[in-house]
Each structure stands twice: as C-alpha cells, then as structure tokens.
Amino acid sequence: MNEFQIGTEAVADGHHGWIRKVHRATNEIVRDSRGEPIVFATQDAAKAAAGEAMVAYLNTPMLRDGARVEAIFKAEAFFKPKPATAAGVA
C-alpha cells in the first residue's frame, strides 16, 4: 500500500490520468495550469501524462517542515560561525 502508483480512470469524454504518492491515501488527478482535470482522448495518453507527472513530482527538491532543504543548508552555512584557525601556531 505504501508505494508510488500511476493509473487511469475512464470518464465520460475520455480518460483521466492519476498519481498516488507514498504519503497519501488518495489518487491525485493530472490537472492543467488552471487546476482543472485534463481529459485525455486515450488511456495511453492519460497513463503517459500520469507518468510524466510522477517523474516531475519525484524530481522536486526535498522538503522538510515546509522549507526547502537546500535553502536551510545555505542559511546554516552562512550564519553558523566558522571554526577559528590557528594562525601562526606551528
């Protein structure tokens, strides 16, 4: 049950593509830029779009508590004091 999945669902005018993320119990329909579900003419087109949506999701930056891990690392590197160097000590 705790696994990524993609699939399709038949609707009146064609097919919806969907993805399921590991941490969610429901399917997420592939949507356009306005947030509207996309109806594909064929099941193959819907499944291909779902696969692309899953790859896009998997390639997003990692999140931790709603903040990008990359930004945290950069901020910590900037604000943490640097170790003192032993200048002139042999």
The residue with tokens 């999140």 is 63
Q: What is the pLDDT of residues 71-83, one digit of tens each?
A: 767 777 777 776 6
The band of 25, judged by pLDDT with boundaries at 50, 70 and 90, is confident
Q: Is residue 18 part of a domain?
A: yes
67 vs 29, higher pLDDT: 29
Q: Is residue 82 part of a domain?
A: no
Task: Please count the structural domains in the chain.
Answer: 1
pTM of the model: 0.66
Closest alpha carbon to 2 in 20, 27, 29: 20
Alpha carbon distance 61, 68 (integer Å): 7
Q: What is the pLDDT of residue 90?
A: 52
Q: Is residue 53 part of a domain?
A: yes
**In which domain, by residue range, is 59 found?**
5-77
Q: Is residue 86 part of a domain?
A: no
Q: What is the pLDDT of residue 77?
A: 77
Closest alpha carbon to 29 in 55, 8, 57, 10: 8
Report the side by side order of strands in the sheet with 14-20: 5-11, 14-20, 28-29
The band of 86, judged by pLDDT with boundaries at 50, 70 and 90, is low
